[in-house]
Chain A
């Protein structure tokens, strides 16, 4: 993590801006709901309300911009960790292959045994197929 304190500071600043926007909104809604002099709602003109709301939106946008900045900081500097995870994944794959080769070895033993059985059964004409398989297998290892 690049700079956790800087990220926290930016996030805290954004929290303040968001809270200010909340307060502004409450006041705006209270003004809108308050009856005007002639008793009809709302208590302020639409133009004034829109201008006030525009301020609130600007505050929220500023806060969201800061949240984005904090996010970029939180995600930055993780290159080494990401690389480490990819390296580990690669290593795990190699181990998997190694274990698979061991399984091949047991397969090999089975083929050798088949060969031995063919010899024991005294059928040399049928030796060719297992021999061929064995050859392929050894080459693949």
Chain B
């Protein structure tokens, strides 16, 4: 009884290890690739930066408006480049994830084809036992070939990606900081205008205007607070991606 249970456990173990078609390292690489949507926060903030003029415009004097209009033209042009920064990184991460993909490594479907291909011919002398033995062998061979190929390919890409990924992430982080500082000035122009004009209103005659101005002031304060939080989050996302990439690169076995 005990012996049979032992065999059962051994059998289960064999099945489980057989099913685990990928190494933990490839799973880590896939987890890293799955982070690529987090670059979206950078994209969102770049687009917000692009629209700075639109938000400031109602609060500007004609002279300030003319200056901002000129600045806006330069900003639009620069933002086309700023947005592009993430595209290369995104493509890199996603393709790396595909390369480390479970299905890349897993030839189970093919192995099943081998099995069912034979089973389709019941009159042949091959019985199920042979089929399973053959399928098992194919599985081993397939894994022996594609496994190391995949690991090597992933390591090569990671090794060469180290520096460019670092540089692009650094630039993105710098831009996030500059967006943040620009947003600070925008906030102070918008809210500052309300703040310095409200005291000149007559509480009786301008009651409606006063109410609208104060409510706008509150709304704007909430908006800028939210954007500040988003910027912090976007920066943390970039930090997390950098850390994961660095950890993966550090685990690369040295080239033989």
Q: Is B9 an interface residue (CB 8 A)?
A: no
Question: Roughly how many angstroms separate A63 CA and B200 CA in the complex, as a whole number?
Answer: 28
Q: Contact at B196–A93, with CB atoms within 8 Å?
A: no
Q: Is A131 an interface residue (CB 8 A)?
A: no
Q: Contact at B171–A78, with CB atoms within 8 Å?
A: yes
Q: Contact at B74–A88, with CB atoms within 8 Å?
A: no
**What are the residues of chain B within 8 A of A67 when measuring CB–CB?**
178, 181-182
Q: Is A128 an interface residue (CB 8 A)?
A: no
Partner pick for B117 among A25, A96, A111, A122, CB 8 A cutoff: A111
Partner pick for B174 among A49, A74, A103, A107, CB 8 A cutoff: A74
| Contact-size category for B | 35 or more
**What are the residues of chain B within 8 A of A85 when measuring CB–CB?**
88-89, 91-92, 161, 164-165, 168
User: How far is the CB of A88 from the nearest CB of chain B, in Å?
Assistant: 5
User: How far is the CB of B135 from the nearest CB of chain A, in Å?
Assistant: 9
Q: A109-B138, A113-B134 are in contact. Are A91 and B157 (CB under 8 A)?
A: yes
Partner pick for B75 among A41, A68, A70, CB 8 A cutoff: A68
Question: Roughly how many angstroms separate A75 CA and B84 CA in the complex, as a whole number?
Answer: 10
Question: Roughly how many angstroms separate A78 CA and B164 CA in the complex, as a whole number?
Answer: 9
**What are the residues of chain A within 8 A of B197 when measuring CB–CB?**
46
**What are the residues of chain A within 8 A of B124 when measuring CB–CB?**
117-118, 120-121
Question: Roughly how many angstroms separate A60 CA and B189 CA in the complex, as a whole number?
Answer: 8
Most B-side CB within 10 Å, residue of A28, A42, A121: A121
Q: Mark B59-87, 1 if CB is under 8 A from A, else 0.
A: 01101100110010011001001101100
Q: Mark A67-101, 1 if CB is under 8 A from B, else 0.
A: 11011101110101110111011011101101110
**Closest residue of chain A to B78, judged by CB?**
A72
**Closest residue of chain A to B123, judged by CB?**
A121
Question: Roughly how many angstroms separate A74 CA and B171 CA in the complex, as a whole number?
Answer: 6
User: Shortest 4 CB-CB distances between A and B: which pairs?
Assistant: A114-B117, A117-B121, A85-B88, A81-B164
